[in-house]
């Protein structure tokens, strides 16, 4: 009698990539915040190519607000929930950035099952760590602005 092996429903080439996810946040964000390099469950990577629009002086120093914005974008992508917002951050700028530098931000959520999430974000120019942060992201059942609109409408009806 021949030994029977359980049939695999799919071979490894046709299996879906369970790590990849669809982008649910920041769909209309300006390209100056960076471009998505990787988007997986609980992780994201964003590349920021510095431009002359980000320069704050004649030496080519990039404004830290542009760096923060791209890091926050990567944090939001890591959470990837349409009703999430950044509610806080602890940030360290470890080195100045100049025009022409390309920064790669790597974001990873530290827990997935709470309404308040911590997201670790690190930024690198080549292999040099230039940015380190912890972002705090709140996840709501409904969009945060719709909650305020409903309350305002109720007040006006009284």
- List domains and CATH numbers for the chain: 31-157 (3.10.129.10)
Q: Which of 58-62, 113-117, 118-122, 136-140 has the highest mean pLDDT?
A: 118-122
What's the pLDDT score for residue 11?
41
Angle of CA points 65, 130, 45, to nearest 5°: 80
Q: What is the pLDDT of residues 45-71, one digit of tens each?
A: 999 999 999 999 999 999 999 999 999
Worst-scoring range by mean pLDDT, 11-20, 61-70, 92-101?
A: 11-20
* Residues 43, 122: Cα–Cα separation, whole Å: 12
Global model pTM greater than 0.85: no
- Over 90: is that where the pLDDT of 25 sits? no
- Over 50: is that where the pLDDT of 117 sits? yes
What's the pLDDT score for residue 8?
44
Residue 12: DSSP 8-state = T
Q: Which residues contact 9 (CB under 8 A, 6 or more apart)?
A: none
Q: Which residue has the tokens 């915040």?
A: 33
Mean pLDDT of the chain: 82
- Over 70: is that where the pLDDT of 16 sits? no
What's the pLDDT score for residue 35?
79
**Strand arrangement, sheet containing 116-125:** 35-40, 43-49, 102-109, 116-125, 128-139, 84-93
What's the pLDDT score for residue 151?
64
């Amino acid at each position: 009698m021949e030994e029977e092996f359980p049939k695999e429903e799919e071979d490894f080439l046709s299996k879906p990539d369970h790590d990849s996810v669809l982008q649910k946040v920041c769909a209309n964000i300006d390209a100056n915040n960076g471009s998505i390099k990787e988007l997986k469950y609980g992780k994201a990577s964003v590349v920021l190519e510095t431009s002359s629009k980000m320069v704050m002086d004649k030496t080519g120093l990039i404004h830290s607000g542009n760096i923060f914005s791209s890091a926050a974008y990567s944090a939001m992508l890591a959470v990837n929930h349409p009703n999430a917002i950044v509610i806080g951050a602890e940030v360290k700028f470890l080195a100045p950035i100049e025009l022409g530098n390309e920064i790669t931000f790597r974001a990873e959520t530290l827990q997935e099952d709470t309404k308040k999430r911590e997201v670790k974000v690190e930024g690198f120019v080549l292999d040099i760590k230039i940015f380190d942060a912890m972002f705090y992201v709140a996840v709501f059942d409904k969009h945060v602005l719709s909650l305020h609109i409903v309350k305002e409408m109720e007040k006006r009806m009284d």
